[in-house]
Structure 1
């Protein structure tokens, strides 16, 4: 399942170095703003024929002055109050997209929770445990990685918490 040169992104390099099994999935990204779907993650679910609950998006938030990575299903939204609680902060707000790109080394729509330029506290929505594997961005638009939730937690140092909510 591990593909040493699959995609050649910092995310795949980090997974290979950590000895974590994954499967790379490429699809044709619609270059129109946010693709044909309502967002990059929903586009990935649609193009790969997946349940949107199993595809997770990576978001950066500012929690009391500290950047935090939140990983939630593309079928829902990030609950900022729940994220703040999960990291012991009073308040969380979405990080500026330019800050997110600069700090992670990835572009919006292709931000992977794996292999970021800096290591941040990471919170994975607890629904990830409902699946044998989940899908996250592989580090560019049109490229997702499939791996077990346990391996995603290991490679990112994530904690599980109920941080997602329905749209």
Structure 2
């Protein structure tokens, strides 16, 4: 398998079933998740983006639909903190071992607490980043939660 990344290796070690989707990653796009959804032909709500945040100064990982926005108030509450902010891209890359646009909740270099947007998990399969730009992993929501040792929490801003 020529698509071995720390993310796919973590899922393989956990003996979880997943499918891979590749697309032509375009640097500089504001909405990478929406581009990925369009490129692989699925609705944006099933393609989840991985966002690294800091809650009371500690790293955390929030996974939300690509067509939604984080609520920092909900993120802080989900991780038991008072305040949350987006992590600087360079810090996120160093912490996770992945490049921005390719950060996965699985197989991060230094694991952080992970939460998935609860409302996004009511589908048969979700799609998350596979650990490199242009590679997506499709799997069952329960498997994603188990693999990331994650919790389902409300994370997104009311739309």
Q: CA deviation at 1:7?
A: 1.0
Asked if the contact 1:72–1:163 (Cα under 8 Å) also holds between the matched residues in 2, the reply is yes
The TM-score normalised by the length of structure 1 is 0.91
Q: How many residue pairs get matched?
A: 159
CA distance in 2, matches of 1:43, 1:166: 22
Give the superposed CA RMSD. Answer: 1.2
Which of 148, 151, 157 in structure 1 is aligned with 2:140?
Answer: 148
Secondary structure at the aligned position of 1:25 is classed as: strand
Secondary structure at the aligned position of 1:57 is classed as: strand
Asked if the contact 1:10–1:114 (Cα under 8 Å) also holds between the matched residues in 2, the reply is yes
Matched, 1:86 2:78: yes
CA distance in 1, matches of 2:2, 2:17: 12
Equivalence for 1:48: 40
CA distance in 1, matches of 2:158, 2:79: 21
Q: CA deviation at 1:145?
A: 0.2
CA distance in 2, matches of 1:59, 1:76: 12
Asked if the contact 1:58–1:137 (Cα under 8 Å) also holds between the matched residues in 2, the reply is yes
More strand by share: 1
Equivalence for 1:23: 19
Which structure 2 segments of 5+ residues have no match? none
Structure 1 segments, 4+ long, off by >6 Å, are none
Asked if the contact 1:6–1:12 (Cα under 8 Å) also holds between the matched residues in 2, the reply is no
Secondary structure at the aligned position of 1:77 is classed as: coil
Which structure 1 segments of 5+ residues have no match? none
Secondary structure at the aligned position of 1:151 is classed as: helix
Q: CA deviation at 1:65?
A: 1.5
CA distance in 2, matches of 1:102, 1:129: 28
The TM-score normalised by the length of structure 2 is 0.96
